[in-house]
Amino acid sequence: SAVISQKPSRDICQRGTSLTIQCQVDSQVTMMFWYRQQPGQSLTLIATANQGSEATYESGFVIDKFPISRPNLTFSTLTVSNMSPEDSSIYLCSVGASGSIEQFFGPGTRLTVL
């Protein structure tokens, strides 16, 4: 399995500001994934964070709004930029552990934008 931590666990932010969410994994992984879960909804993939290359974004998500960094094989950040109340969600990172077919999820960051 993989042990994943995220910081912060929750935050309340003002509209127009930005928040950077960190995801740390206890082992090296090739790809890390960022998902959004809006209140009462399912999960939607935002982007794939690849080490050494630009992140790959899903339809409806753009780099200017959700810039991602992947400086090494155990760490990634997702920034939610110029926030509005519609960005209030839980943001989760996910990885697949080496030698495992499972996909593991971090504890999530609960973001509220006022």
Residues that bind other proteins (CB under 8 A): 31, 33, 41-45, 48, 92, 94-96, 101-108
Q: Which is nearer to other proteins, 17 or 56 (CB)?
A: 56
d(CA 106, CA 109): 9
Q: Which is nearer to other proteins, 64 or 102 (CB)?
A: 102
CB atoms inside a 10 Å sphere around CB 31: 15
Min CB(36)–other proteins separation in Å: 11
Min CB(43)–other proteins separation in Å: 5
Q: Which is nearer to other proteins, 75 or 105 (CB)?
A: 105
Min CB(6)–other proteins separation in Å: 9
Min CB(113)–other proteins separation in Å: 18
Within 13 Å of residue 89, how many CA atoms lie on the same side as its CB? 20
Alpha-helix residue ranges (DSSP H) falling in the chain: none
Q: Which of 30, 32, 45, 35 is nearest to 4 (CA)?
A: 32
Which residue matches tokens 């794939």?
A: 48
CA 102 to chain CA centroid, nearest Å: 18
Q: Which is nearer to other proteins, 13 or 31 (CB)?
A: 31
